[in-house]
Structure 1
Amino acid sequence: MGEQGVDVEARRADLERERAELVADQAERRDAEATVELDQQRQGRLSRMDALQGQAMAKASAERAQQRLRLIDAALVRIEEGEYGLCRECDEPIAPARLAADPAAALCIDCAARREA
């Protein structure tokens, strides 16, 4: 347990598990992002529209996954540097329940609320 009652090793395991899942899913997303062929002989207009929509959704999903990977990597660095569990803005401890819900959280609930306001 860390100084603020945070089980840092449990959070590290959570972060590493989530990171591995995201990396494994990247190959599947790449297939869904493949360029849509616009050959009218092979696909009807609605099928092409569905394929284009699926491609756009896959790209958006990949962008969200990349952002999440960046957050996870930053949290893992904070663990290594001994700064995990401290708010990046006010240096106050982040609630253990918040870190259990989102191990990559970098802000306490008050600073996060101020940012979203």
Structure 2
Amino acid sequence: MTDPTPEELRAAFLPRLNEELDALRSASAKTTAERRPVELDQQSVGRLSRMDAMQQQAMASAQDARRLGRVRALEAAIRRIDAEEFGWCDDCGAFIGMGRLDLEPTVMRCRDCAG
């Protein structure tokens, strides 16, 4: 079996990467209100309600930080596709393998180099 061409890799993975990227950006935009700082107005809510709101805000911010990390990984994979470097190991230069890429298209190392 021969290694796929950059064009074949582009056709196989670019739509999938862009779809996930769009979904992550949309999810981030939808949760903007949940990440806003909690107002500490004692007249409108009690102490436990404020603590719960602060915890919810912290969890939403942490989730968005994880989302941002994934966005960056997807953008890097798209840049590698554009540079025709997608699918080849950053360490040894061998083809990563379609199975590995299919499981995680942002992977940058083959199984042997990933250790």
TM normalised by structure 1 equals: 0.85
CA contact (8 A) 1:12 1:76 kept: yes
Which 4+ stretches in 1 moved above 6 angstroms? none
Structure 1 position 90, deviation (Å): 2.1
Equivalent-residue separation in structure 2 for 1:42 and 1:56 (angstroms): 20
Q: Out of 49, 52, 55, which is 2:51 matched to?
A: 49
Cα RMSD, aligned residues only: 1.6
Match of 1:18 in 2: 20
CA separation in 1, counterparts of 2:112 and 2:61?
Answer: 32
> How many matched pairs?
111
Aligned to 2:81: 79
Q: Which residue of 2 aligns with 1:64?
A: 66
Letter in 2 for 1:103: P
Once the two structures are TM-superposed, the CA of residue 5 in structure 1 deviates from its matched residue by 4.1
* Structure 2 letter corresponding to 1:18: E
